[in-house]
């Protein structure tokens, strides 16, 4: 099993021809190193927060992202706590954005049609459990209305064969994830000279 896992991790480099031959992490033009003040945020849960964060960091108008946990009962949960599926938290991303460049509705449409599959209950791909549920945590009534309208629109347009199961719930305390989870795929690529296997396969599916 260990040999198979090591092979899978090395697969991107083998297919690209050499380590670091291609950078797979796409980044938007407006990303900042620190969270700016005075801008709105969107908080979304859609499976593994590594994957979801990488999707949003590629969008122009997104200023800052961070991953963490929301929607549970325990105070100050750790990643280890959340992975048990017993704390009630979801893995989420917090997206700080410039509404003059990208609207909240744009972020929602991307979330529901491209960033993840909103029709699978408590699961995304191989990741299963309530911590991987699809959720929109709204910060005000307008965000709530926009989320409900966007879900209705995507359902009406029959984007998926099955109905959307994304929950729309009030934002609660955002518990920031551990540092090594922040921008995980970017750190992995920088450290290893090749994209993470999940990122590589995702990009291949888009081509």
Predicted TM-score of the model (pTM)? 0.86
The pLDDT tens digits for 94-139 are 999 999 999 999 999 999 999 999 999 999 989 999 999 999 999 9
Task: Mark the ranges of the chain whose per-residue pLDDT is less than 70.
Answer: 1-25, 201-207
Q: What is the pLDDT of residue 13?
A: 45
Helix H or strand E segment including 70? strand 62-70
Q: What is the pLDDT of residue 199?
A: 73
pLDDT score at 194? 87
CATH (domain of 153): 3.30.1060.10
The answer to whether residues 72 and 87 touch, using CB atoms and an 8 Å cutoff, is: yes
183: alpha, beta or left, given left = phi > 0 and alpha = psi -120 to 50?
A: left
**Dihedral (CA of 71, 72, 73, 77) sign:** negative
pLDDT per position as a tens digit, 42-51: 999 999 999 9
**Residue 177 CB-density burial (10 A; 0-12 exposed, 13-18 middle, 19+ buried):** buried
Q: What is the pLDDT of residue 39?
A: 98
- Residue 51 annotated in active site: no
**Which residue among 25, 41, 48, 150 is the active-site one?**
48
Residue 18 has a pLDDT of 40
Which helix (H) or strand (E) segment is 66 a member of? strand 62-70
User: Buried b / exposed e across 79-107, counting CB within 10 Å, b at 16+?
Assistant: bebbbeeebebbbbbbbbbeeeebebebb
Q: Quick one: DSSP state of residue 182? A: T
> So what's the pLDDT on residue 193?
86
Task: Give the pLDDT of residue 197.
Answer: 82
DSSP letter (8 states) at residue 178: P
Domain of residue 151 covers 2-206
For the chain, the domain total comes to 1
């Amino acid at each position: 099993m260990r040999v198979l896992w090591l092979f899978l991790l090395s697969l991107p480099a083998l297919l690209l021809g050499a380590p670091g031959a291609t950078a797979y992490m796409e980044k938007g033009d407006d990303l900042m190193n620190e969270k700016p003040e005075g801008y709105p945020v969107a908080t979304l849960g859609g499976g593994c927060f590594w994957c979801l964060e990488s999707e949003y960091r590629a969008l122009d108008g997104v200023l800052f992202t961070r991953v963490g946990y929301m929607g549970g009962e325990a105070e100050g949960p750790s990643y280890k706590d959340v992975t048990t599926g017993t704390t009630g938290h979801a893995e989420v991303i917090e997206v700080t954005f410039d509404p003059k460049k990208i609207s909240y509705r744009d972020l929602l449409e991307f979330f529901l049609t491209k960033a993840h599959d909103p029709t699978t209950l408590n699961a995304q791909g191989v990741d299963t459990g309530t911590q991987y549920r699809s959720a929109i945590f709204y910060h005000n009534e307008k965000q709530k209305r926009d989320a409900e309208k966007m879900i209705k629109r995507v359902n009406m347009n029959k984007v998926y064969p099955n109905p959307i199961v994304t929950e729309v719930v009030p934002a609660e305390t955002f518990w920031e994830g551990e540092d090594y989870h922040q921008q995980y795929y970017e750190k992995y690529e920088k450290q290893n000279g090749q994209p993470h296997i999940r990122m590589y396969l995702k990009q291949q599916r888009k081509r």
